[in-house]
Structure 1
């Protein structure tokens, strides 16, 4: 038996060498925290701003009320200088240090918040020409909204980059500017019908909704950005540019006056079909007010 011990030891050593993956198994890395801002929050700023900048605050000075005309109640205006980390969107050259004004909510104590040195931020802005009103130097920028400075985090930057990638694609969904016209026609079988609704966009390209109702009452719909009306097109996935344009840009109610000339029952059916689309898209969730204009 004593002569077998070395062999047993070797066998056990072989077994122990064969299971390091189990003994060295580690818990999976925690997923990074999601962005505190909704898709619409970031898209509102990304679609309005010709420049998106990752920067770090170098200095921030709270301005006295008499030097901050028009600041909203409950907010304080800051003059900020920041060091550019990277230009995410926009055309250079851009100075290594930039300056701008930003309005931020007061702290819980009713006083201006503290902006820490080297605090990373995302800025959504336009360039300011030297000598323009409000410009202090050639490195000045103007935010597209008084509060268009977001705390930087990896998830928010990733969301921003995904939106910008969609924006530059050929045929990217444009902003909806209003309802043009539409109609509903009954089908050949009882209960069947088709509604087509047409909308104006900021680029002049047409956008349409098609809602088809089967005889059993089931409905399916599609959105088309462009000249071709395709009732079989896929419904835009949530948190995509096309979804954002629809969920955040469609009017909450269908202007039935623009369906004049069609029978009242057909207008009511069109309005009902439109409600199905809005319900399927879901809410345009925002945590901040979008930029004006």
Structure 2
């Protein structure tokens, strides 16, 4: 996931739009530490499961808010602004805390980069309801840092409904660890022609156990499953599509088996390990992202 970054705006930078006075001086205050974010361009479509999991994983706060005020930052005061985008200073009201154990203020302040419309204008977000994936700013209850440049989504009941099971899985005691690659792969032929077993040991954050076993039997379809314990469970099942276990594998395993991870010395065993790994990846399917 992209690393979050902060922009600190000092006093003069609050003169970002001519409409500040019309807003009752609401922005004439010492500027907070805020995070840049991007809202979802309409052309990209709805966020996928992987998009939502990317945002939710590691976000201390997931909340629903309503935008109350916005002001556009002048381009010269918006370093790193992408072409075709505007940077907005937003003030919002917290409507609900969807997930999180840290306190959050009733009012929120943050920056957001948004795509310009066909007329080159920034969208009017006032009164819009949004989902924010954020972390708090220490000592400033009303200020948040969004976790990455896609960490503001337009709220819809459907998006929140899709998001909540992901948050529940992430918070569960048996949540699978983040997978970072393949540590070892070993394939062994069985006693019968067409019989074999391939074991794939995964690298994970925190070095927590995770392994995949692929078994082949004569005249049968290959079977595979993933185990998230120290014990290699040969009865382990494939992860359910669009689940956290599926996401950990489909979205982060390499496309092909790394040669240095293949411990088999026999050429037939090495080729079978590669074939079995390709079978697993085919079974998992693609990991589409729109953000």
Query: Does 178-187 or 86-95 show the bigger shift?
Result: 86-95
Structure 1 unaligned runs (5+)? 1-34, 131-136, 289-293
Aligned residues: 247
Cα distance in 1 for residues equivalent to 2:58 and 2:113: 18
Partner of 1:291: none
Cα distance in 2 for residues equivalent to 1:67 and 1:196: 54
Question: 1:228: how far off?
Answer: 1.7
Partner of 1:12: none
Q: SS at 2:207's partner residue?
A: coil
- Partner deviation per Cα, 1:153-196 (whole Å, 9 max, x = no partner): 11111121111111121221111012111100011011111100
Is the contact made by 1:79 and 1:101 (CA closer than 8 Å) also made in structure 2? Answer: yes
Which of 232, 245, 249 is equivalent to 2:248?
A: 245
Q: SS at 1:280's partner residue?
A: helix
Partner of 1:122: 131
Cα distance in 2 for residues equivalent to 1:42 and 1:145: 12
Which of 123, 141, 146 is equivalent to 1:143?
A: 146
Question: 1:93: how far off?
Answer: 2.6
- Would you say 1:65 and 2:82 are equivalent positions? no
Question: 1:138: how far off?
Answer: 4.0
Partner of 1:51: 61
Which of 99, 108, 114 is equivalent to 1:98?
A: 108
Is the contact made by 2:105 and 2:142 (CA closer than 8 Å) also made in structure 1? Answer: yes
Cα distance in 1 for residues equivalent to 2:70 and 2:274: 51
Moved over 4 A (4+): none
Is the contact made by 1:191 and 1:217 (CA closer than 8 Å) also made in structure 2? Answer: no
Written as runs of structure 1 = structure 2, the 5 A alignment for 1:271-286 is: 271-286=274-289
Cα distance in 1 for residues equivalent to 2:105 and 2:132: 14
Question: 1:73: how far off?
Answer: 2.7
Cα distance in 1 for residues equivalent to 2:217 and 2:150: 48
Q: SS at 2:53's partner residue?
A: helix
Question: 1:261: how far off?
Answer: 5.3
- Partner deviation per Cα, 1:26-54 (whole Å, 9 max, x = no partner): xxxxxxxxx92211111110003111010
Cα distance in 1 for residues equivalent to 2:124 and 2:51: 23
- Would you say 1:267 and 2:262 are equivalent positions? no
RMSD: 1.6
Structure 2 unaligned runs (5+)? 1-44
Question: 1:238: how far off?
Answer: 0.9
Partner of 1:83: 93
Query: Does 55-64 or 104-113 show the bigger shift?
Result: 104-113
Query: Does 49-58 or 257-266 show the bigger shift?
Result: 257-266
- Would you say 1:223 and 2:232 are equivalent positions? no
Question: 1:55: how far off?
Answer: 0.3
Cα distance in 2 for residues equivalent to 1:73 and 1:182: 45
Partner of 1:157: 160
Q: SS at 1:140's partner residue?
A: strand
Cα distance in 1 for residues equivalent to 2:177 and 2:162: 19
Cα distance in 1 for residues equivalent to 2:172 and 2:262: 34
Partner of 2:29: none
Cα distance in 2 for residues equivalent to 1:53 and 1:163: 14
Partner of 1:186: 189
- Would you say 1:108 and 2:111 are equivalent positions? no
